[in-house]
Amino acid sequence: MKILKSILLVIVVLIGLVLITALFVKKDMKAEREVVINKPKSEVYDYVKYLKNQKEYSKWASMDSAMKVEYRGTDATPGFVYAWESKKDEVGKGEQEIKAVKEGERIDYELRFLEPMESTATSYMITEEAPNNQTKVKWGFDGKMNYPFNILNLFMDMEKMVGDDFSAGLNTLKTKMEKQ
């Protein structure tokens, strides 16, 4: 009985330490990557503004060919929703909604992750003119990991993980756009 109490006390102390530590761990997550595409800004923007086109270059869209996809609304306009559901945990279930469009320059999204863990984040895509009729495309993400799950930020580099996925997607976008 004394051993059981000691084990229980150790478990309670460890849980308490994790919860107290999580109070001091950052909750914010950010990532942004960019690429220069050898195409005019108007052409690149006219492609990336359509959320449905992300299936052609987003790393996440390519992770599960059996993923169920649903579209609601008019693409390239605020309110359009791209929903997905996958049996693979790394893809999960969620939806992305276009929240704002600054024609020719920027698209803002809200990401709602439903499974395997619920969270909400914002994302954006920006197109900027670059020299020699090129376009700089920035893809970014801002999110929060709520307490006590923010303790995971001590063990995972979300900026690198998400940023690397953005880089992969942007490089695929560059290759696709430059072949056209």
CATH of the domain at 74: 3.30.530.20
Measuring CA to CA, how many Å separate 141 from each of 49, 68, 144, 158?
16, 23, 10, 10
Q: Among all chains, which residue has been given the structure tokens 């809200």? A: 110
Any domain includes 12: no
pLDDT tens digit sequence for 39-48: 999 999 999 9
Q: Among all chains, which residue has been given the structure tokens 């595409």? A: 37
Is residue 91 over pLDDT 80? yes
Any domain includes 51: yes
What does the mean pLDDT of the chain come to?
91
Q: Among all chains, which residue has been given the structure tokens 């954006």? A: 124
pLDDT tens digit sequence for 107-149: 999 999 898 878 888 999 999 999 999 999 999 998 777 788 7
pLDDT tens digit sequence for 66-90: 899 999 999 999 999 999 999 988 8
- Domain membership of residue 130 as a residue range: 27-179
Is residue 50 over pLDDT 80? yes
Any domain includes 155: yes
Contacts 24+ apart (CB under 8 A), 86-92: 88/63, 88/64, 89/116, 90/63, 91/60, 91/63, 91/64, 91/67, 92/116, 92/117
Any domain includes 17: no
Any domain includes 5: no
Instruction: Write down the pLDDT at residue 34.
Output: 97
Any domain includes 16: no
Residue type, 33: R
Any domain includes 7: no
Total number of domains in the chain: 1
